[in-house]
Structure 1
Amino acid sequence: MKYIYTSIALLLIVSCQKVQKDNTGDNELSILQKADIPYLKGESRKIFDAKPSEDFDNYQWFTNDHCFVTDHNGQLHWFGINNPYPPEGKELYRYHPYLGHLVSDAAEKNWKRLPFALDESKGTEYLGAPFVIWHEESERWVMVVETLLEGTRRLEVCWSQDLLDWERTNKAILPDKLWISSRDPHIMKGEDGKYWIHIVSTGNEGIKQSQVLRIRTKDFESFEDPETILGINDNNFATLIESPGLLERNGLWYLLFTYAHRRYTETIVVVSDDPNHFDYEKNTLTTLFGHAAKIFSYKGKSYISSCGPEDRHYFSHQSVSIAELGWLKQQ
């Protein structure tokens, strides 16, 4: 019996030492080792056709940057770039007359097309990437979208009571402080109670690199100066990254962006314990399949989307697809 008690005591001592060692090791883990790794579960499937209807016109259609938002009745909305390939005499990436709008009660099916959210087919013929969020303070929906103001691409705020009718402000956000290539907004409410608008740009603080910037606002009327939360020294003339998105999970922050000018469907994930700073060189966690990917949750599931392409030489798929999103916890 004495030997049994002695064996049990030794086992407990060894176990305690192992727990202490593991706990010490946890504290020494790098951010990359602590992070959960996102991945696509199963197939990425098309959820609707890019073209409004077969008889709408004689052109092939495409999609590009977009967003998902759930209304107060639980219906899921999609807003995004949705256009025909340019007819003769029009330019690719310049002929963007429509902002598409669809709704569904099931993320993977049942999508119904509504009238265009915005239509510039008889105006500037340009509408860029939109992002929509509920503005709690004014109890309205707010959209930030790239438009053509006085002949220059700028970010503009639009408002809606019902996600159907949108009122434009026709005012540019920080026109004297944002490079003209600033685009692809992502919006979330930050820890400071302000709304964080994330965009891609270059030239902030005089540095010509691919950047993700944050602009803080409370009312979408006045805006704080842009701050760089990620910079990549990969160019000297324009941003080469697109479509940023930010989320928090278990105390870490995950910044996603498309590296479209390297690979069209390459979405990079960089992780940080500080939402104000992301290190591309040291803390790139993984690469996901998808262009202009958006992560959203609906009816208890998380999804990741992809869209496009805005280029004819790609085969057959110019619409939007989604896959269920999983997270791999590292050992």
Structure 2
Amino acid sequence: MRNFLYLLVLGGCFAFCPTQSKAQQSGLKKKAEIPYLKGESKRIFPANPDNPGPQKGGEKSWFTNDHCFVEDTDGTLHWFGINNPYPPKGKGLYRYHPYLGHLTTKNPEGEWKRLPHAIDESKGTEYIGAPYVVKHEESGRWAMVAETWRDKRRLEVYWSDDLHNWESDGKAILPDKLWISSRDPHIMKGSDGKYWIHIVSTGNKGVKQSQVLRIKTKDFVNFEDPETILGINDNNWATLMESPFLVERNGLWYLFFTYAHRRYAETIVVVSDDPDHFDYEKNTLTTLFGHAAEIFTYKGVQYITSCGPEDKHYLNHQSVSMSPLGWAKQR
């Protein structure tokens, strides 16, 4: 209870208050720092590319969802993400998904410049989703992993030399080993020198549960078999989690993921001292406000974002919001 009151005073997050006694609590949780949103999570740009404003009724005609941030060699920050109009009559919300938006800035709390869509499938498959972009150090090119919908929903790789022009290799990532709901990649360079792709899925190794999987690659052409790093026994047909993101801090690992099918804007944080294994039952650390949260550091400040929602409630802004991310040391 003391930790709960401490977090409540800090503000900016909803604390997860375990029912265990202190003697039973995980030693990891006692050592861990608690992430929290420092102040208000503010909108950083309008979802609608034309930005007609609420007076003209067009502000809520577009929405955002999963997204990512990457800094280029000139120090410019790029945003890539799902950015679509609500579907026209006869099209489905989760099937008509034609655009990946692209914006840039050198001040994430200031003005963002909107660029042409990074990928436009409006005259093609009408579906592109959940991108993540990293610099492939070995080739000097940029790699994007995104969800596509060709013969079925799948993950594939796009390449770019300049972060503006993208081409897909047209090949699905591990098509015979990933469940159809596998999506929402997060990518980082691992301690083994390989690129770790984290996705949500189910059915890995025959287990029907909500899972976060890791797929390793060196070249984004050849991929190792997926390994489950977190599983929740909450279902037997599809993953109920979304948007994993892994952070290493002071020798501990923090796995953020959205529990969107329980609450749309609920981001859970699970702590571990082993990046290959996270225990949801024992080591859930806190709950944050946010959907499809991304974490990035730019000019020495660490930020956390949220996006969406894909509905039209009165005060919702349908776009991307951002707040500095704090880390509270426990007493």
TM above 0.5: yes
**Which residue number in structure 2 is paired with residue 172 of structure 1?**
172
Displacement after TM superposition at 1:138 (Å): 0.5
Render the CA deviation track for 1:255-307: whole Å, top value 9, x for unaligned: 00000011111000000000000000000000011000001000110000000
Q: Which stretch shows the higher mean deviation, 280-289 or 56-65?
A: 56-65
The one-letter amino acid of 1:299's match is K
2 CA distance for matches of 1:123 and 1:167?
A: 14
Match of 2:121 in 1: 120
* Distance in structure 2 (CA, Å) of the matches to 1:189 and 1:255: 15
The AA in structure 2 aligned to 1:319 is: S
Aligned partner of 2:87 in structure 1 is: 86
Secondary structure of 1:74 counterpart: coil
Name the amino acid aligned to 1:133: V
Query: 2 CA distance for matches of 1:86 and 1:38?
Result: 36
Aligned to 2:226: 226
Q: Return the alpha-carbon distance in structure 2 between the equivalents of residues 131 and 68 of structure 1.
A: 8
Q: What is the CA–CA distance in structure 1 between the aligned matches of 2:320 and 2:270, rounded to whole Å?
A: 24
Q: Partners of 1:156 and 1:320 in 2: how far apart? A: 25
Cα distance, 1:149 vs. partner? Answer: 2.2
CA 1:314–1:124 in 2, change beyond 3 Å: closer, same or farther?
A: farther
> Larger deviation: 316-325 or 51-60?
51-60
Within 2, Cα distance between the matches of 1:292 and 1:72?
A: 26
1:49 corresponds to which residue? 46
- Equivalent pair of 1:184/1:200 in contact (CA under 8 Å): yes
- Give the Cα–Cα distance (whole angstroms) in 2 for the partners of residues 295 and 288 of structure 1: 13
Aligned equivalents of 1:311, 1:200: Cα separation in 2: 23
C-alpha separation in 2, matches of 1:29 and 1:258: 22
**Identical positions, percent:** 74
**C-alpha contact (below 8 Å) 2:309/2:316 kept by paired residues:** no
How big is the shift at 1:54?
A: 3.8
Aligned amino acid, residue 40 of structure 1: L
Distance 1:246 1:165, change over 3 A: same
What are structure 2's unaligned runs of at least 5 residues? 1-24
Structure 2 SS opposite 1:32 = helix
- The residue identity in structure 2 corresponding to 1:64 is N
Tell me the equivalent position of 1:39. Answer: 36
2:176 maps to 1:191:
no
Asked whether the equivalents of residues 266 and 291 of structure 2 are also in contact (C-alpha less than 8 Å), the reply is yes
- How far apart are residue 29 of structure 1 and its match? 7.3
What CA distance in whole angstroms lies between the structure 1 residues aligned with 2:187 and 2:150? 21
CA-CA distance at 1:170 after TM superposition: 1.1
Aligned equivalent of 1:17: none
1:166 alignment partner AA: W
Q: Which residue of 2 aligns with 1:137?
A: 138
Between 261-270 and 52-61, report the one with greater CA deviation: 52-61
What's the CA shift string for 1:7-56, capped at 9, x where partnerless? xxxxxxxxxxxxxxxxxxxxx97000000110000110000000001469
Q: Is the partner of 2:39 in helix, strand or coil?
A: strand
Distance in 2 separating the partners of 1:148 and 1:264: 23
Indicate the residue corresponding to 2:209 in structure 1. Answer: 209
Report SS of the residue matched to 2:104. Answer: strand
Q: SS at the partner of 1:281?
A: helix
Does the CA-based 8 Å contact 1:149-1:172 persist in structure 2?
A: no
Larger radius of gyration: 1
Q: RMSD of aligned C-alpha atoms?
A: 1.6
* Paired residue type of 2:133: V
Q: Deviations over 1:30-84 (max 9, x none)?
A: 0000001100001100000000014699770000000000001000000000001
Partner of 2:298: 298
Structure 1 unaligned runs (5+)? 1-27
Report the count of equivalent residues: 303
Preserved CA contact (<8 Å) 2:26 2:282: no
The 2-side partners of 1:183 and 1:213 are apart by 10
C-alpha separation in 2, matches of 1:71 and 1:226: 29
Deviation of residue 192 (structure 1)? 0.5
Distance 1:96 1:29, change over 3 A: closer
Q: Contact 2:271/2:278 (CA < 8 Å) preserved in 1? A: yes
How far did 1:167 drift?
Answer: 1.1
Q: Secondary structure at 1:95's aligned position in 2? A: coil
Question: Deviations 1:111-158 (Å, cap 9, x if unpaired)?
Answer: 0000000000001100010000000001000000000122x0100100
Q: Is this contact kept in 2: 1:149–1:170, CA < 8 A?
A: no
Provide the TM-score with structure 2 as the length reference: 0.89
| TM-score normalised by length of structure 1 | 0.89
User: In structure 2, the residue corresponding to 1:205 is in which secondary structure?
Assistant: helix
Kindly report which structure 2 residues correspond to 1:143-162, keeping only aligned pairs within 5 A, or say none: 143-150=144-151, 152-162=152-162
Letter in 1 for 2:28: I
Contact 2:45 2:319 in 1 (8 A): yes
Equivalence for 1:30:
27
